A and B are shown apart, each in its own frame.
Chain A
Amino acid sequence: MRDVIVIGAGGGGPVVAKELAQRGLSVLLLEAGARHAAPRSEWTHFENDANNPLTGFLRFGPADRNKPAWFRELPQNSFLFQVSGVGGTTQHYFGNCPRAYPGVFAGYDRPDADAYDAAHRFPFRYDDLVPYYEWVEATLPVQTAAMGRKERTFFDGCETLGIPVQTTKTTLGDSFRPQQNAILQPGGNAGLTRELSRLAFPQATGCTLCGYCLQGCMEPIRAPRNLFAKRSTDNSYVPMALTADAWSPHGVPITLITDAFATRVLTETRSGQLVATGVTWRVGATGETHTETAQIVVMAGGTTESPRLWLNSGLPNPNDWVGRGYTDHYFDLVVGLFDKDTDSSKGAASAARAEFPGRGGMENIGLGPALQAFAMQLSDSGSRGFYTNGRGFTGPWDGPTGRPIGPELKDALMNGVNRLLNILVITDDDVEAQNRVLLSALPADEHGPVPKVVFRPRNRTARTVANREFLVRKATQLLRGAGARKVFRLDWAPLILHVQSTMRMGTSAADSVLDDTAEARFVKRLFIADNSALANALGGPNPTLTSQALATRTAEKIFQRYFGGEPWVGREAPVVSTADAVTQAVLARGL
């Protein structure tokens, strides 16, 4: 029997695993996808090789790339951007680590309190989470992003908006700033050269501005895994968890099993209460199933997979909120074409942002040509100039919303992938019961019924729609201010990539699955530590940091409630994941 089994080695699971391994608990971490132990021999910087949703090494599918990806049902024009493998979606994330806006937490009483999703606040105060933010920011670590040409272009536009520069971690008003990124700042030759011979560790340290965040970070060349620039969990929390004995006085290394898809959470009734007792998983390579028991089970397979696993395990759902309340930041993309270089495909993929609390935010995103083309074809407004799909909105951008097709798409991209600027519009969207994960009626796969992800983009709340319309206008103004010659607004169909709140914690038992410690209301000893546990869409900020802060808090609650331990956040100094003791253990153990 293990003390704790954590399901899913993505953004949140490894945080719980590392924190509890540091305390001396025996932890089993299960990951459905590949280990990706040797990125230099398994990965490339190529977009199709990495990101093809059917075949790429960062797809959502089995460790064996010759097997098809896992099917999920999407009954609308949309794209669900899941990633399996150790690190989960942090493998392809941009490392952006803004804190949630204070207005989405309980007890917020500033004058703009009504501007947020007031019906679905976190069940505790912002100040209660700050120590956990600080702990994660120190552990990853999170640092102020360096500036390349695309950031300079973004700031040029921001400087025309009449809003101040934010110089704090907490956001309190409209502002712009460099990202706080989980990316090590460039050191040595990094950022100064393209010559391979000068870019190997330790001549180069931190971010080399290679431009391939989306393809997984393995920079600089020959750096120890825990010193790779981007602090995806495969480069930060997982190496720490695997070496906990080397850097923590009471630490016990975790057991990590990959190619292990959890298919069932086991339960029994004790003293009239349903409690979690273990996990069954299926081995991808052999098809065998294994079961292990544990005192505590932590679900962290992701915002789509956690409700699926809950339902496939036959766990109770008395208020019908399992899988409901899916938030996705109702993204939109605004693209400016320039007559000057922006170097959009170079550098950290996103290193600048603007905040509009109560509305959401926006950030620059750099893409290679294939994903740039993909991004400019995703639209809920049909094809520009031919059909609008009932939308085709006009505004300060050029022409109607919609995808440019054929010659227009080609002309836009031939302007140059380094002479454009993308602004991702990140809307503060409301928790809505209609947007949800349920089990598909289509045939089950080897792991049971597959998830069906339903979004109703035409039926969002008035506040959500108004927030998006406000932000796309600001983004257009920013691009014009930066000198854009032509501005496209895509009106994206749902790109389900920032995913939150399908197993949400909440103040009310009527519309939440978790209590204020992230323990399931209906099954004791069962916790959730991925983005699905978040109470809402955070007001718009990218979710990973908050999920990791919450997972840290959850680990502490588990340790206190079930293992008689003392809390540590705010009492101890965190160990940074780049610490020499971690590095030496990573090297010694060939991690």
Chain B
Amino acid sequence: MATNDLSRRAFLARIGVLGASATLLPQCAGPELTGSESSELGLGVIVNLLRPVLGQLARDTLNGFVAFSVPGQDDYSRAQGTPRGEPGGIAAGGTDFLIENFDRFLPLPDELVRPAGAALVTALGDLPLPIAGNLLFGLLGPSVVTIGLVDNAVRFILENDSDAPLSLPVALLLNYVATATNPASLHGAFVSPFARLSFADKARAMAMLETSQSRLVALIDAQVPQPLKASVSGLLQFFGGALHEFAAFGCFGESRRYSPATRSLTGRPVGWQLTGFVPDNQPGDGWDDLLGYYQDRREVTDA
């Protein structure tokens, strides 16, 4: 196996793609596609196979993040070591909230997303990390799908899809920092390495994104052409904070218990239940909270 192939394989493992592919790709009985990974037929087949796999990877990864943001009674909260007796972000629909908003509404120009995606798959693959060979064991087994094909398919999806879901690069980035924080996250329950981390390790992984001057940020910048160079790293730092804020907003908001058609609630939002907001579950048009005027003063003047 060529060194380059090994490093790409390690990289694909670290962003979660290899594990997800091994778990979720149908047992391909198709034609042997060796060597000619640039063949359009092979690439097209793999791209189509890979899209739903990557979608599931993104969902699993964001489940891991939402449980980190607002832990609950779910498997992800248990796995990170913070089980709770009441519902959390996953029950509140936080994962759907993030995916829908990222994929449908995040107004990032394609011209930014594509080079950023390319930088992601190029730069991160070159970042040396202390991953012991045996941790890759199991993800290196024989497969009818070559690493080169999977690698090219991921690149293709990130760089060329005009409708590439933005939740995907976010998820790949989270998995990348997850394996950098704890290489043991390459294996275990769930599809996503990030989802396999303990709560404390998730916090350490997020620190890699948020901390200014991080090596990760510098490496990604180095791969991006001017004039976008500092913009991509700045965007990463923005995301390092915004993920926390946006996930919490989604988990404590009404979105999963709201019908746009009727402009009303379909049930009690989890965040309202947790915080005791409007106990009668009606947003209402007033409260009986008037206590009067401080010192009975209803107006002031300078005269």
Contact pattern, B 214-255, Cβ under 8 Å of A = 1, otherwise 0: 000000000000111011011101101110111111111111
B-side contacts of A346, CB under 8 Å: 287, 289
B-side contacts of A191, CB under 8 Å: 286-290
Check if B302 is an interface residue, CB within 8 A of chain A: yes
Partner of B200, one of A372, A386, A414, A441: A386
Is the Cβ of B105 less than 8 Å from the Cβ of A68?
yes
Contact pattern, B 282-302, Cβ under 8 Å of A = 1, otherwise 0: 011111111111110111111
Check if A49 is an interface residue, CB within 8 A of chain B: yes
Residues of A356-409 contacting chain B, CB below 8 A: 368-374, 376-379, 382-383, 386-387, 389-390, 403, 405-407, 409
Is the Cβ of B249 less than 8 Å from the Cβ of A371?
yes
Is the Cβ of B105 less than 8 Å from the Cβ of A73?
no
Whether A55 touches B101, Cβ cut-off 8 Å, given contacts A71-B107, A417-B276, A440-B231, is yes
Whether A383 touches B203, Cβ cut-off 8 Å, given contacts A410-B70, A413-B275, is yes
Is the Cβ of B245 less than 8 Å from the Cβ of A79?
yes
**Closest B residue to A384 using CB positions:** B203
Is the Cβ of A152 less than 8 Å from the Cβ of B291?
yes
Check if B210 is an interface residue, CB within 8 A of chain A: yes
**Closest B residue to A59 using CB positions:** B105
Is the Cβ of B251 less than 8 Å from the Cβ of A368?
no
* Chain A binder among B31-39, B108-116, B141-149, B182-190: B108-116
Is the Cβ of B295 less than 8 Å from the Cβ of A382?
no
CB distance from B25 to the nearest CB of A (A): 32
B-side contacts of A403, CB under 8 Å: 244
Q: CA of A123 to CA of B238 in the docked complex: distance in angstroms? A: 37
Is the Cβ of A443 less than 8 Å from the Cβ of B112?
yes
CB distance from B43 to the nearest CB of A (A): 27
**Closest B residue to A220 using CB positions:** B285
Check if A76 is an interface residue, CB within 8 A of chain B: yes
Residues of A414-453 contacting chain B, CB below 8 A: 414, 416-419, 440-443, 445, 452
Q: CA of A212 to CA of B283 in the docked complex: distance in angstroms? A: 9
Check if B28 is an interface residue, CB within 8 A of chain A: no
Is the Cβ of B292 less than 8 Å from the Cβ of A146?
yes
B-side contacts of A318, CB under 8 Å: none
**Closest B residue to A419 using CB positions:** B276
Check if B206 is an interface residue, CB within 8 A of chain A: yes
* Chain B binder among A87-95, A167-175, A241-249, A545-553: A167-175
**Closest A residue to B234 using CB positions:** A75
B-side contacts of A368, CB under 8 Å: 277
Q: CA of A186 to CA of B105 in the docked complex: distance in angstroms? A: 39
Check if B51 is an interface residue, CB within 8 A of chain A: no
Is the Cβ of B234 less than 8 Å from the Cβ of A405?
no
A-side contacts of B226, CB under 8 Å: 441
Is the Cβ of A441 less than 8 Å from the Cβ of B275?
no
Whether A441 touches B289, Cβ cut-off 8 Å, given contacts A369-B253, A410-B84, is no
Residues of A123-150 contacting chain B, CB below 8 A: 130, 143-144, 146-149
Across the A-B interface, how many residue pairs have beta carbons closer than 8 Å? 280
Check if B271 is an interface residue, CB within 8 A of chain A: yes
Check if B160 is an interface residue, CB within 8 A of chain A: no
Check if B211 is an interface residue, CB within 8 A of chain A: yes
B-side contacts of A376, CB under 8 Å: 248
Is the Cβ of B294 less than 8 Å from the Cβ of A387?
no
CB distance from A288 to the nearest CB of B (A): 22
Q: CA of A196 to CA of B291 in the docked complex: distance in angstroms? A: 20
Whether A144 touches B297, Cβ cut-off 8 Å, given contacts A52-B249, A76-B234, A389-B212, is yes
* Chain B binder among A203-211, A478-486, A512-520, A565-573: A203-211
Is the Cβ of A73 less than 8 Å from the Cβ of B231?
yes
Partner of A52, one of B84, B101, B109: B101
Is the Cβ of B294 less than 8 Å from the Cβ of A178?
yes
Q: CA of A390 to CA of B212 in the docked complex: distance in angstroms? A: 9
CB distance from A248 to the nearest CB of B (A): 26
Whether A178 touches B293, Cβ cut-off 8 Å, given contacts A70-B107, A78-B238, A386-B203, is yes
Contact pattern, A 13-57, Cβ under 8 Å of B = 1, otherwise 0: 000000000000000000000000000000011111100101100
B-side contacts of A73, CB under 8 Å: 231, 234-235
Whether A168 touches B234, Cβ cut-off 8 Å, given contacts A196-B285, A386-B203, A414-B274, is no
Check if A193 is an interface residue, CB within 8 A of chain B: yes
With most chain A CB atoms within 10 A of its CB, the pick from B82, B244, B284, B289 is: B289
Is the Cβ of A373 less than 8 Å from the Cβ of B287?
no
A-side contacts of B71, CB under 8 Å: 406-407, 410
CB distance from B111 to the nearest CB of A (A): 4
Residues of A190-237 contacting chain B, CB below 8 A: 190-194, 196, 199, 204, 208-212, 219-221
Check if A306 is an interface residue, CB within 8 A of chain B: no
Contact pattern, B 86-125, Cβ under 8 Å of A = 1, otherwise 0: 1010000000010001000111111110000000000000
Is the Cβ of B231 less than 8 Å from the Cβ of A441?
yes
Partner of A199, one of B200, B237, B275, B285: B285
Q: CA of A17 to CA of B280 in the docked complex: distance in angstroms? A: 43
Is the Cβ of B271 less than 8 Å from the Cβ of A209?
no
Partner of A168, one of B110, B231, B254, B301: B301
Taking A75-B231, A192-B288 as known contacts, 17 extra A-B pairs with beta carbons closer than 8 A to each other, sorted by chain A number, are A46-B254, A48-B254, A49-B260, A55-B101, A74-B238, A77-B240, A177-B294, A191-B287, A191-B288, A192-B290, A208-B286, A347-B287, A347-B290, A378-B241, A405-B68, A413-B274, A443-B109
CB<8 Å pairs between A and B, sample of 10: A46-B254, A71-B109, A76-B234, A148-B290, A148-B291, A194-B280, A196-B284, A208-B285, A379-B241, A386-B203
Interface set of B (CB-CB < 8 Å, partner A) = 68-71, 82, 84, 86, 88, 97, 101, 105-112, 199-200, 203-204, 206-207, 210-212, 226-228, 230-231, 233-235, 237-238, 240-242, 244-255, 258, 260, 263, 271-272, 274-278, 280, 283-295, 297-302
* Leading 10 A-B pairs by shortest Cβ distance: A75-B234, A191-B290, A208-B286, A370-B253, A77-B241, A441-B227, A386-B203, A373-B248, A45-B283, A48-B253
